[in-house]
C-alpha cells in the first residue's frame, strides 16, 4: 500500500521507526519551511517520497519564507515527487486573498517543473483551485480528503484530477458518497496521519494499517473484489507520482 498523503514529520522518532517498518510507502507532505527540511531528510528512506509546500490553515508565509520554500523546491526538484501540501484556508479563515495568490504561484511552479500538486481545497475553495489549475493548464492535481458539491466533483472528474480517501470512508456518509461517484481510476488512499479518526479507530495512532479498512470499504461501495481495488489504487498512485 502507498499512503498518498501523510505528515510523517509530525510523528515522533519512535513512531516513525514503527511506520517505516510497516512495509507501506509514503508520500509525506510539508506544512512550512522547517517541515520541508524534515521531510527531505525522511525521504532518504527508500519507502518515503517527499512533497514540499506550505499548509494553508495558518497565516500566510512571509515573503522571505515563501522565497525560501520556492528556492528549496527548485534546489531539490529531482528529489521530490510533488509540490504540497498547498491550498486555501477553509477551517481557519486567515489571509484568504494572500493564500489565493500563493496557491497560484505554487500551481505555476508545478506546471513549470512538471510536478504534480497536492491540494488542501474543500467545498467552495475547490472551485477556486479548479479555476487556477485550468488557468495554468495543470492537470496533475491531487485533492486530499476532498469534500464538495456535485458540480465541482463532476468538474474534477472531467479534468482528470485525483482524490485520496481517508479511513473515515468507513463511517462518514459524505466520503462514502464521494467514492460512489468518483471513478476508481482516479482514486488513491491516504491517512493524513497523525490526524486521528473516530469510531472503530478511536484512540488509535493513525498508521498505514488503517488503509486496509479503507480499501475494504471502497471495494464494498464499488461492488468489486478487494484485490482488484487494492491493485488499482496502487497503480493509480505509482502512475500519478511516477514512482
Tell me the three-class secondary structure of 66-106, residue by residue.
HHHHHHHHHHCCCCCCEEEEEECCCCCCCCHHHHHHHHHHH
Which residues are annotated binding-site positions for a divalent metal cation? 5, 7, 85, 120, 144, 192
Q: What is the pTM of this model?
A: 0.97
Are the CB atoms for 6 and 28 separated by under 8 Å?
yes
Tens-binned pLDDT, residue by residue, of the chain (243 aa) = 999 999 999 999 999 999 999 999 999 999 999 999 999 999 999 999 999 999 999 999 999 999 999 999 999 999 999 999 999 999 887 889 999 999 999 999 999 999 999 999 999 999 999 999 999 999 999 999 999 999 999 999 999 999 999 999 999 999 999 999 999 999 999 999 999 999 999 999 999 999 999 999 999 999 999 999 999 999 999 999 999
pLDDT of 102 reads 98
- Give the whole-angstrom CA distance, residue 193 versus residue 213: 15
2-241 folds as TIM Barrel (3.20.20)
Q: Which of 238, 172, 220, 30 is nearest to 212 (CA)?
A: 220
234 burial class (0-12, 13-18, 19+ CB within 10 angstroms)?
middle
pLDDT of 185 reads 98
Question: What are the phi and psi torsion angles at 45 (to 5°)?
Answer: -80, 135
Which residues are annotated binding-site positions? 5, 7, 85, 120, 144, 192
Amino acid at each position: 500500500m502507498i499512503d498518498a498523503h501523510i505528515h510523517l514529520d509530525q510523528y515522533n522518532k519512535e513512531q516513525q521507526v514503527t511506520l517505516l517498518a510497516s512495509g507501506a510507502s509514503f508520500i509525506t507532505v510539508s506544512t512550512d519551511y522547517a517541515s520541508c527540511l524534515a521531510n527531505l531528510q525522511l525521504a532518504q528512506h527508500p519507502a518515503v517520497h517527499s512533497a514540499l509546500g506550505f499548509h494553508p490553515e495558518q497565516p500566510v508565509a512571509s515573503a522571505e519564507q515563501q522565497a525560501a520554500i520556492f528556492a528549496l523546491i527548485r534546489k531539490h526538484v529531482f528529489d521530490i515527487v510533488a509540490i504540497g501540501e498547498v491550498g486555501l484556508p477553509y477551517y481557519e479563515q486567515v489571509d484568504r486573498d494572500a493564500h489565493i495568490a500563493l496557491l497560484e504561484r505554487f500551481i505555476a511552479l508545478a506546471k513549470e517543473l512538471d510536478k504534480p500538486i497536492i491540494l488542501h481545497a474543500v467545498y467552495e475553495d475547490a472551485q477556486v483551485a479548479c479555476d487556477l489549475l485550468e488557468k495554468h493548464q495543470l492537470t496533475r492535481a491531487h485533492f486530499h480528503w476532498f469534500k464538495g458539491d456535485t458540480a465541482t466533483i463532476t468538474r474534477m472528474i472531467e479534468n482528470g484530477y485525483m482524490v485520496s480517501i481517508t479511513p473515515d470512508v468507513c463511517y462518514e456518509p459524505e466520503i462514502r458518497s464521494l467514492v460512489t461517484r468518483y471513478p476508481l481510476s482516479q482514486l488513491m488512499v491516504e491517512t493524513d496521519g497523525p490526524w486521528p479518526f473516530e469510531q472503530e479507530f478511536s484512540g488509535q495512532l493513525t498508521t498505514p494499517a488503517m488503509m486496509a479498512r479503507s480499501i475494504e470499504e471502497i471495494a464494498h461501495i464499488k461492488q468489486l473484489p478487494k484485490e482488484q481495488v487494492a491493485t488499482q489504487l496502487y497503480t493509480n498512485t505509482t502512475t500519478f507520482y511516477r514512482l
